[in-house]
Structure 1
Amino acid sequence: MRIVIATQNPNKVREFAEILGSCAELVPLPPSMPKAPETGETFMENARQKALFYASRVGDPVLADDSGLVVPALGGAPGVRSARYAGAGADDQLNNQKLVQALRDKGLRQAEAWFACAIVVAHRDRVLVEVESKVDGLVHDEPRGEQGFGYDPLFSPQGESRRFAEMSAREKHLFSHRALAVRELQTRWPALTAKAEPKE
């Protein structure tokens, strides 16, 4: 099955490919594709907007996810604005720096947090399946590790002293919000793991 991932972020496409393995051919959005609206107040609303927006523009099913870090001590920030926490066009480093400063402004070296991931698959004008998952843990005021992307250098999942950025991809996928959501997606959408019928 060919699935378009609603992103041009190569890190995200690679992570989905690592989690799903060979059960689907995953491709990123064409570079000329316009940007989908992300005006929802929840991860699920934003994932649904993106999935339907791109599904009306490509022929294959579209898998859209919206994910981010939620820190209750910071009023839920970065939340649905995780990718643009430090402003439009901000990169991972700037977003991480802003989060570290926000923690320190509160006098916090670490705080309870969770990563959330909502996934929506749509085809043409119809939503096929929606799933959502999260992983609890701690966010820290100093980055560690060189792996992963986003807020991975600042987040350690519950029961682990290491940050996501200190784990191999295989280790991270045991815990991560995206991996948990994909496993739920595979349960809820059998077409994703169904083998193609042999051609006569």
Structure 2
Amino acid sequence: MNLIIASGNQHKVREIRDYLSPRIPALQISSLRDLYSSVPDIPETGTTFEENSLQKARWLYAKHSGWIIADDSGLEVNALQGAPGVYSARYAGEPCNDSANNAKLLSELSGVAPEKRTARYRAVITLLSPENKAHTFSGSCEGTIAETPSGTEGFGYDPLFIPTGYTRSFAELGDKIKEKISHRSSALRAMAEKFPQYLAFYQ
């Protein structure tokens, strides 16, 4: 059974593959990097994670039918009224640059007291069946934004995001802990619980 990830982001693809492969061994998982020599830019014109996730899945389905999974995720900072939100990957402008995005976030939060630097990571995953039926799953992880980045693992805002209940950033905690508590893992967990039922139905 083939599943295509509508992403060329190597970090995101690895997280999805590492989570799903041992739980659903029947899946043969590929990504845009396996399909294209130059990863295409998929349109993301929605105003919500749900809209963008579905848009990316539909775009890939139009070109490669079968099981498709698409993710849209980002950081919501309460002191910034939910920003950067759906613009998380390109918060500092194009081209996407994690370091620039982190620097802009710290600048926007300059002077904000530690207790008011609350935030959450959010992820929405769309799974399209071979019949083009959409199934949506979401997950979130609450935390705070540090005043300085720390850690070298992870990507995006991980060096700044300290999940609730921990004193270190996602970039310091490592993959094993992140797999248990992250926003994307939460959404993938919900999907993995349902996916065997979908597979049985469509076989």
TM-score scaled by structure 1?
A: 0.89
**What code does the residue aligned with 1:14 have?**
R
Tell me which residue corresponds to 2:79.
73
**What code does the residue aligned with 2:30 have?**
V
Is residue 50–residue 124 contact of structure 2 (8 Å, CA) maintained in 1?
yes
Superposition deviation, residue 34 in structure 1: 3.8
Equivalences for residues 106-185 of structure 1 within 5 A: 106-109=111-114, 111-123=117-129, 126-185=132-191
- 1:138 and 1:27 mapped to 2: Cα distance? 34
Tell me which residue corresponds to 2:68.
62
- 1:166 and 1:136 mapped to 2: Cα distance? 17
Is residue 56–residue 124 contact of structure 1 (8 Å, CA) maintained in 2?
no
- 2:152 and 2:198 mapped to 1: Cα distance? 32
Give unmatched runs, 5+ long, in structure 1: none
Cα 1:95–1:43 change in 2 (3 A) is same
The SS at the match of 2:109 is helix
Tell me which residue corresponds to 1:18.
18
- The structure 1 segments of at least 4 consecutive aligned residues displaced by more than 6 Å after TM superposition are none
Give the structure with the higher percent helix.
2
**What code does the residue aligned with 1:4 have?**
I
Q: Summarize deviations over 1:129-185 as a string: whole Å, max 9, x none.
A: 111111111111210111111111000111111111001211111110000000001
Q: Percent identity among equivalent residues?
A: 39
Tell me which residue corresponds to 1:94.
100
Cα 1:154–1:53 change in 2 (3 A) is same
TM-score scaled by structure 2?
A: 0.88
More moved, 150-159 vs 21-30: 21-30
More moved, 113-122 vs 134-143: 134-143
